[in-house]
Structure 1
Amino acid sequence: MTSEEHQSLANVYALIGRLWLSEVDLDLLQQLAATAQHDSLLRDSFAVDESMLQPAGVEMLAVEYCSLFIGPKNHLPPYQSVWEAGQLQSETVASMNRFAEILDAPDIVDGSTMSDHVGYQLQLMGLVHQRASFQRSDELLELGQLFFSRHLCWQQPLLRSVIQRSGVGFYGSLATLTGELVDSEATFAGS
């Protein structure tokens, strides 16, 4: 993989991670709309129409985000430990914090007790690709493969559930894009 490909993947991981971490605001939607004009992946994945760029559209997306991922009931917690162990703050959180420490990226998980959030995981994988864009080493490649196998391979049940609930909406598109990214990375990583 070339340095440019690593940097491109780093950017995609960072963006997708941000979209998972909190609801979108008007500025981010405007950036997505502008970027999608020049990026076929985003254009095909996130159809940001004029109605979304209005206050009511932003509010609708915020409500959808909250009902999907925050609750108060029947939500889909975007945490690896919940999907794997049925509760928050398991060994998965400790593992995420260790990876953040190894990558010298405590600002990504920010000491969070909920660092196994899918958004943080995607952002850390983006950091691995960013580093790989200018630093080639077997250690970094092994670290990326280990991180991927421990923290990105769990997501399919969450993604399927989001797609079922959201359909072809914004967050359903986010789940589809996330699944495609993780699947392509699995193929590359040989996972």
Structure 2
Amino acid sequence: MNDSRLETLTAGRDLFLLTSRLLSKEIDQPLYRALLTADPDGTPAKDRLIDERTRAMDEPDALRALSVEFCRLFIGPYPACPPYASIHRGEPLVGGRADQSIRDFMARHGLHAEPPGGHTVLAHDHLGIGLALLHHLLQGRGRGGSVACPQGEDRNAVDELLRDHLLPWAPSYLQNLHDAALHSPYGIVARLAGGLLAEDG
């Protein structure tokens, strides 16, 4: 991976963390309120993190609508976009080879990822875990107020995580999520994060 590509990914690391959160747990009141105010002034309506239809609802109704959307997309009983590598690789079981592969990756690099309570993650091949790991590895040490890109072992781990665990399926998954989402922020964040992952370096 060249330096320019790494800098681009590092600049987008907070987007990866937000995407991880949105894939892993329903939107609660604090996150909803943060998303309402996160768009810069002048953001076109089609690109707002909370769409106009949802903004027009009372907060309890908006949270209920977003909860239904989360369940439709990720939980099911027949989820539109199950966020597991195993499913997209055609493996017969969530948490099979893809889960063991990411666990092996974490062990080799001294990483640990367990979703906090209340998250709906069943196995480590969940895209939310992969994106949280990417965010963690992209955190550089600040120098003079700027954020440095990862070096050495962290850079090698970023390369491996992308090459072996995210790029084979995450960009197409995020495109499918963008197409399937009826409410932002799911579609908007999927488009942005998918575009960032899929950029040629």
TM-score (norm 2): 0.75
Matched with 1:183 is 198
**Structural RMSD (CA):** 3.2
Equivalent residues in 2 for 1:17-166 (5 A)? Answer: 17-37=20-40, 44=47, 46-49=49-52, 50-51=55-56, 54-86=59-91, 87-108=93-114, 114-131=123-140, 133=147, 136-153=150-167, 154-166=169-181
Q: Return the letter of the residue paired with 1:62.
A: S
- Return the alpha-carbon distance in structure 2 between the equivalents of residues 18 and 152 of structure 1: 16
Identity of aligned residues (%): 23
Q: Is the 8 A contact 1:6 1:130 kept in 2?
A: no
Q: Return the letter of the residue paired with 2:197.
A: V
User: In structure 1, the residue corresponding to 2:12 is in which secondary structure?
Assistant: helix
Decide which structure has greater helix share: 1
Shift of 1:176: 1.1
Structure 1: unaligned runs, 5 residues or longer: none
Q: Is the 8 A contact 1:17 1:119 kept in 2?
A: yes
Change in CA separation of 1:44 and 1:127 when aligned onto 2, cut-off 3 Å: same
Shift of 1:160: 3.2
Change in CA separation of 1:95 and 1:141 when aligned onto 2, cut-off 3 Å: same
Change in CA separation of 1:74 and 1:31 when aligned onto 2, cut-off 3 Å: closer
- Return the alpha-carbon distance in structure 2 between the equivalents of residues 75 and 166 of structure 1: 9
Shift of 1:144: 0.8
Structure 2: unaligned runs, 5 residues or longer: 142-146
Aligned residues: 184
- Return the alpha-carbon distance in structure 1 between the equivalents of residues 57 and 25 of structure 2: 16
